[in-house]
Structure 1
Amino acid sequence: MKIRTALAGLALSLLPALGFAMCPDRHEAQSCAPGTAWDAAQGACVAQINS
């Protein structure tokens, strides 16, 4: 019974870390080269067009 409780506690303690690692919003902090901006739809830095 102690092993099962310990494994359950370990699994529950790791869930927040896994959720953070899989979070899609953390890509917004992506730094791009000057003249480019992060495009979330493409998942990459794209050139900024100034008209």
Structure 2
Amino acid sequence: MTIKTLLIAASLIALPALSYAMCSEREHQAQSCAPGTVWDAAQETCVEQINS
């Protein structure tokens, strides 16, 4: 194998790992719920909004 082939193979192996590492820093994502519902973090789902 040539050095060029080895470098290309190494970069193709490293790219998915690097992209995963860059995306894993995001802990919070916006959640959209239907009108009249709100996001419940404990249940991790949309629940009906209760007005008191």
TM range (shorter): 0.5 to 0.7
Higher helix content, 1 or 2: 1
Partner of 1:46: 47
Partner of 2:28: 25
* One-letter amino acid of the counterpart of residue 45, structure 1: C
Aligned residues: percent identity?
Answer: 48
Aligned length: 47
Segments of 4+ moved more than 4 angstroms: 1-12, 21-24
Stretches of structure 1 lacking an aligned partner (at least 5 in a row) = none
Stretches of structure 2 lacking an aligned partner (at least 5 in a row) = none
What is the RMSD of the two structures over their aligned residues, measured on CA atoms?
Answer: 2.5
30 and 5 in structure 1: CA distance in 2 versus 1, 3 angstrom threshold: same
* One-letter amino acid of the counterpart of residue 41, structure 1: A
TM-score (norm 2): 0.52
* CA–CA distance in structure 1, aligned partners of residues 6 and 42 of structure 2: 43
* CA–CA distance in structure 2, aligned partners of residues 43 and 22 of structure 1: 20
TM-score (norm 1): 0.53
- Between structure 1 and structure 2, the one with the greater Rg is 2
